[in-house]
Structure 1
Amino acid sequence: MTDTDRTGTLHAGFSSPDATAQPWSLVLETLAEAEVFWISTVRPDGQPHVTPLIAVWRDGALYFCTGGDEVKARNLAANPECVLTTGCNRMGSGFDVVVQGRAVSVTDEARLAVVAGDYESKYGWVFRVEDGRFVGASGNVAEVFEVRPVTVYGYGRGAQYSATSWRFSS
């Protein structure tokens, strides 16, 4: 998937009567500017696990990091399918984005260096890249994951409500 403009499908049953599909540019803006995301993974026993994290958008994918022994990392090792969400918590305005995809471990050090730069630019977090992972200032080691969207949903609120989806080849 590239970051070019795409046409979404409006879901009329979940939208105001005169609503139109939201533009892909709004999704890109939301993903780039969002500070907090929520990741949903599935535990080996089938129970859901949801937790907040920070992420960066680069080249058509979301990147996040987590300790290898954290629940989300263990869940992704067993089942890489996940959902990342972001948006706002106001009923009368805003735009929420839901990204469904597969979390893939990133170990390429050149790619990790670029993503580490994104984390520093966006959040002020500094990581060095070592042995295919991030290492923080305190010495904590984090695995890095890439999620390329398979399906994206955008939910607009305000004068009109809209539900728009975009599908991509997996």
Structure 2
Amino acid sequence: MEPTTKLDARFSDPNATPTPWAQAREQLIHAETYWLTTVRADGRPHVTTLLAVWQDDAIYFCTGAEEQKARNLESNRHCALTTGASALHEGLDLVVEGAAERVTDPGKLKRLSGAWESKYGGDWHFDVGDGVFTHPEGGEALVFEVAPAKVLGFRKGEYSQTSWRFPG
């Protein structure tokens, strides 16, 4: 799915061009860590680092049912996932905004468990239980999909701010 791309000239060098979506997508695919921002029931933000995979035009993450991020998503599915270089003069930082949806389909969970292990290695092997990931050493993890509504890209060096908006 190709998003609508827009350069925000207010926050970009005069000669900057929009970052291509293909470049942003590649970074989402290969990033090792991401920051997830959710909102607590009392309105305070909650930010935590986690692992995630980009597949089928969405980003996926998992968490224990009792963890704060899972509890937050019960009452407010809106969230943001952030990744990037965290450097001042080079790289591309990305923010994916969307709503987190539980993934419970066994076939999809199986494909995602393979994606986790392929990306992060055998320490991140998951089996598929009843609508959840299970770990061989015990424990279950809920899996969430965030289909992006909007992605922001902040390119450093030739400074630019690009936004990509997705249909739907």
Q: Is 1:47 the counterpart of 2:47 in the alignment?
A: no
What is residue 81 of structure 2 aligned with on the other side?
84
**In the TM superposition, what are the counterparts of 1:1-170 in structure 2 within 5 Å?**
2=1, 4=2, 6-124=3-121, 125-158=124-157, 160-170=158-168
User: 1:77 deviation in Å?
Assistant: 0.6
How far apart are the structure 2 equivalents of 1:119 and 1:154?
A: 24
Root-mean-square deviation (CA, aligned residues, Å) is 0.9
Letter in 1 for 2:47: V
How far apart are the structure 2 equivalents of 1:43 and 1:82?
A: 11
User: 1:138 deviation in Å?
Assistant: 1.3
Unaligned runs of at least 5 residues, structure 2:
none
Deviations 1:114-161 (A, max 9, x none): 000000000011000010100012111000000000011111001x10
Deviations 1:57-103 (A, max 9, x none): 00100000000000000000110000000001110100011000000
Unaligned runs of at least 5 residues, structure 1:
none
Alpha carbons 1:7, 1:24 under 8 Å: kept: no
TM value normalised by structure 1: 0.95
TM value normalised by structure 2: 0.96
Alpha carbons 1:7, 1:23 under 8 Å: kept: no
Question: Structure 1 stretches (4+) deviating beyond 4 angstroms?
Answer: none
How far apart are the structure 1 equivalents of 2:162 and 2:86?
A: 18
Alpha carbons 2:93, 2:154 under 8 Å: kept: yes
How far apart are the structure 2 equivalents of 1:88 and 1:54?
A: 16
How far apart are the structure 2 equivalents of 1:7 and 1:110?
A: 31
